[in-house]
Chain A
């Protein structure tokens, strides 16, 4: 959220509802920002308008009904509650629309060419005395059931500034309402959603967009920006090879992302093309090769820009592992330089990085040796957030690309604290920090990176892997909510963090 947006959230409140410090902050800002000062006046006029017209607004009974629903259903699971509320809202909206339509018809028939107060009597009179309003039935009917809205290619949105931003990885295919609500509650502006190409295009040219449609629509309604991280070619594009890896023909991916960018133009704002492609685990069936990857990115970039010129294309982030054997992994920094050698600068808008912190604090640097004898995964620079971020930027600058921003498409700290299971082998470092440290580290990383100035959007890993995947999945260790969606300390700290 930008400085102006933070102030505008305050301006949306009545002055009496702002704290003294908020009043001072807003007052100081309004003296220097004409746009916000104008908005402040607009909001004040809005209040007067709403107060003036309030007595006869036909939507007034609606909130009473909705509140009754809320009160009756306290204790229900949130998902069930919101689904009910939405159905009720749709039913009420239909009633309001019907009243408005009948009213308009009544005006046309009885008083053509004139608008008299009496002409809108039915709706107005009813709402002036809420207790006398006939309560519309809330029983869902087939016609009142919300139908999924299928996005169509929208107009071009203005290009987004490539600026610092707060984002989070989430599993939005499940618990979608909770995910959206949490992103809003955190005060974050971006959602990172993994898109497994193999699942969306299981047969060439046969797309299954339903799940993505729902995510995109929910985010669009909530004003949340979306990054799709595209991975995993379908087997039909890999000569029927099993495993997770790239396509044989880079144009197959280009066709897929082009179709996606056209469908979600203006609603999906950024695309990351692949992830961890320096690892065998993400690039099976072909030799690890930055040159091959950049060709894949080049074709995808061209297709996305043709469909949505303002979409941001982020290069796939190499993953730091401390391994550089060329077979199982190429070192992330070595790989990034190879990407530049292959022409990276011409085929992306931002450079993706994955500065996973392992169990080391966000302000610590690897300085050779063993950082902490009591810990594991601390004897290589790959395990340190700051090293990965700053060293990656160093390579960008050395290649004349220092004006471009790094996008941190994945970072985070894992902890098994509060879980009843030990971390899986390979994730032993999750036992080295507790939940309080996890909270301190994630906040510290955001605060430092914003100040540092070379990072664009930072996507924390992650919001809800624990409830979505269970503790048997290693990504649950990074989750900032528990299995029952209760917040871990990191969630609360991020929500309360100044942004």
Chain B
């Protein structure tokens, strides 16, 4: 149950433009084409958003199965903010 809450918290840190495609794709099982239709985006834009969503989720949650990495992420909580993602991505 702690894992479920952690996932929930990590998802909640994602901006809607990334959270919605990720939930539709990875949890609900919709295809890229279906999501593109639903959100009125091109398939390419959906793919890019999925990639960025996964990266943001990865940083917010840490590496699945690696409790240490998630604790490390929590310890640097300011860097988990969606607003801080640019720095984290090294762009």
Interface residues of A (CB under 8 A from B): 5, 8-13, 17, 42-43, 45-54, 56-60, 62-63, 66-67, 70, 74, 78, 85-86, 89, 93, 96-97, 100, 115-117, 119-120, 123-124, 149, 154-158, 160, 181, 184-185, 187, 189, 217, 220-223, 225, 266-267, 269, 495-496
Q: Is the CB of A54 within 8 A of B1?
A: no
Cβ of B75 under 8 Å from chain A: no
Q: Is the CB of B52 within 8 A of A223?
A: yes
A116 vs chain B, min Cβ distance (A):
8
Tell me which of A59, A117, A119, A157 contacts B12 (CB under 8 A): A59
- How far, in angstroms, from A59 to B4 measured CA to CA in the complex? 11
- How far, in angstroms, from A189 to B89 measured CA to CA in the complex? 13
Q: Is the CB of A70 within 8 A of B39?
A: yes
B63: chain A residues at CB < 8 Å are 42, 45
- How far, in angstroms, from A62 to B23 measured CA to CA in the complex? 10
Question: In the complex, given contacts A13-B32, A63-B23, what are 4 additional A-B residue pairs having Cβ atoms less than 8 angstroms apart?
Answer: A49-B61, A63-B28, A67-B38, A70-B38
A495 with B87: in contact, given A60-B23, A63-B23, A124-B4 (CB under 8 Å)?
no
B85: chain A residues at CB < 8 Å are 220-221, 223
B54: chain A residues at CB < 8 Å are 12, 43, 46
List CB contacts (< 8 Å) of B31-72 with chain A.
31-32, 38-42, 44-45, 47-54, 57-58, 61, 63-65
B74 vs chain A, min Cβ distance (A):
15
Q: Is the CB of B83 within 8 A of A185?
A: no
- How far, in angstroms, from A52 to B28 measured CA to CA in the complex? 12
Q: Is the CB of B45 within 8 A of A185?
A: yes
CB-based closest 5 A-B pairs: A45-B64, A12-B51, A89-B16, A49-B64, A185-B45
> For chains A and B in complex, what number of residue pairs have CB atoms within 8 angstroms?
148
Q: Is the CB of A66 within 8 A of B16?
A: yes
Cβ of B3 under 8 Å from chain A: yes
Cβ of B19 under 8 Å from chain A: yes
Q: Is the CB of A149 within 8 A of B4?
A: no
- Report the nearest B residue to A492, measured CB to CB: B42
Q: Quick one: which of A47, A57, A63 has the most chain B CB within 10 A?
A: A63
- Report the nearest A residue to B45, measured CB to CB: A185
- How far, in angstroms, from A13 to B25 measured CA to CA in the complex? 9
Q: Is the CB of A185 within 8 A of B1?
A: no
- How far, in angstroms, from A123 to B38 measured CA to CA in the complex? 27
Q: Is the CB of A56 within 8 A of B17?
A: no
Interface residues of B (CB under 8 A from A): 1-5, 7-9, 11-12, 15-17, 19-20, 23-24, 26-28, 31-32, 38-42, 44-45, 47-54, 57-58, 61, 63-65, 82-87, 89-91
A63 with B20: in contact, given A9-B51, A45-B65, A57-B11 (CB under 8 Å)?
yes
B41: chain A residues at CB < 8 Å are 181, 185
A163 vs chain B, min Cβ distance (A):
12
A496: chain B residues at CB < 8 Å are 44
Tell me which of B17, B26, B27, B47 contacts A9 (CB under 8 A): B47
B52: chain A residues at CB < 8 Å are 222-223
Q: Is the CB of B83 within 8 A of A12?
A: no
A53 with B7: in contact, given A12-B50, A45-B65, A266-B87 (CB under 8 Å)?
yes
The contact sample of 5 A-B pairs, CB cut-off 8 A, is A120-B1, A185-B44, A187-B48, A221-B17, A221-B83
Q: Is the CB of B7 within 8 A of A57?
A: yes
A305 vs chain B, min Cβ distance (A):
18
- Report the nearest B residue to A115, measured CB to CB: B2
Tell me which of A8, A97, A115, A217 contacts B51 (CB under 8 A): A8
B84: chain A residues at CB < 8 Å are 154-155
Q: Is the CB of A46 within 8 A of B26?
A: yes
- How far, in angstroms, from A303 to B8 measured CA to CA in the complex? 43
B47: chain A residues at CB < 8 Å are 9-10, 12-13
Q: Is the CB of A223 within 8 A of B4?
A: no
- Report the nearest A residue to B62, measured CB to CB: A42
- How far, in angstroms, from A135 to B45 measured CA to CA in the complex? 30
A54 with B44: in contact, given A46-B64, A117-B1, A221-B83 (CB under 8 Å)?
no
A267: chain B residues at CB < 8 Å are 86
- How far, in angstroms, from A49 to B32 measured CA to CA in the complex? 20
Tell me which of A74, A120, A223 contacts B86 (CB under 8 A): A223
Q: Is the CB of B27 within 8 A of A221?
A: no
A13: chain B residues at CB < 8 Å are 32, 47, 50
Q: Is the CB of A181 within 8 A of B45?
A: yes
- How far, in angstroms, from A155 to B79 measured CA to CA in the complex? 9
B37 vs chain A, min Cβ distance (A):
10
A157 with B86: in contact, given A17-B32, A57-B11 (CB under 8 Å)?
yes
A481 vs chain B, min Cβ distance (A):
14
B7: chain A residues at CB < 8 Å are 49-50, 53, 57
Q: Is the CB of B23 within 8 A of A85?
A: no
A53: chain B residues at CB < 8 Å are 3-4, 7-8
- How far, in angstroms, from A62 to B64 measured CA to CA in the complex? 23
A10: chain B residues at CB < 8 Å are 47
- How far, in angstroms, from A341 to B87 measured CA to CA in the complex? 36
